[in-house]
Amino acid sequence: EDFWAAAQRLRPVELQLEELHALKLPKAQLKEKEDQLASKWKEKGYFDEQFLALDRATVFGRRLTSDAQGVDIGVLVPPYLPLFKGPGSMPSTSPVAWSKEMLETGEKALESWGCVLLRGLLTADDVKALRQALGLGERRAAEVGLWQQQQDPNVAMGRYTFGRLHLLLRGSPRYEMDAVAPHASLAPLVHKHFEIQDLAGNPIFLSEAQL
């Protein structure tokens, strides 16, 4: 339970567990390594009760203000190892089988260019479900914004940059989980990039993930 709670808060427990199992160690040695990994996670505070109990309302101030800058907004993402489809579960996208080669190629692109194109990361069914959940399709951009505000008046809408309509879905019980669901598919690459840059002592900056 603590493992999944940490994964939902984007701690790299899933990635590190996958990397360990990819070594294909004997069962006894694997169990020893898993115990060592769990101890390491505890030392880093991934299973800290106060951290896992954080409520979104207690960590996120007013939106569209400086109060929101650099603040842990408490957003949960669906873990990417299991596939949750049961009633009451969070929206999720299809699991992505990240190979070592895919992670290395993607990480090198991020390091060299600051961006990476991942074709087919989301399935056609995932895209269709996202478009339906967020009201996309035949509606024009402004119509999408107005439609979302009708469903949830808490959604902020504005044209803060030329030619783009921005919708702030953070904190929306209607849309936030659908919007963050695809991030679970990206999580292994993000974790790997952060891990490599952190070990190299480089500053880490993530601008955005465009879906």
Return the closest-CA partner of residue 103 out of 24, 18, 207, 45.
18
pLDDT, tens digit, 9 for 90 and up, residues 42-79: 998 888 887 766 655 455 555 555 555 555 566 677 77
CB 123 within 8 A of CB 111: no
CB 122 within 8 A of CB 93: yes
pLDDT band at residue 167 under the 50/70/90 scheme: confident
User: pLDDT at position 211, please?
Assistant: 43
CB 61 within 8 A of CB 67: yes
State both tokens at 154. 């808490």
How much is the pTM?
0.57
The helices-and-strands tally (H runs, E runs) of the chain is 10, 2
CB 92 within 8 A of CB 104: no
Residue corresponding to tokens 């008046």: 153
Its sign, for the CA torsion 44, 48, 54, 58, is: negative
Higher per-residue confidence, 88 vs 125: 125
State both tokens at 46. 């991934």
Residue corresponding to tokens 């996670």: 41
Pick from 34-38, 62-66, 87-91, 186-190 the range whose average pLDDT is largest: 34-38
H or E segment to which residue 168 belongs = strand 164-168
d(Cα 87, Cα 82) in Å, to the nearest integer?
15
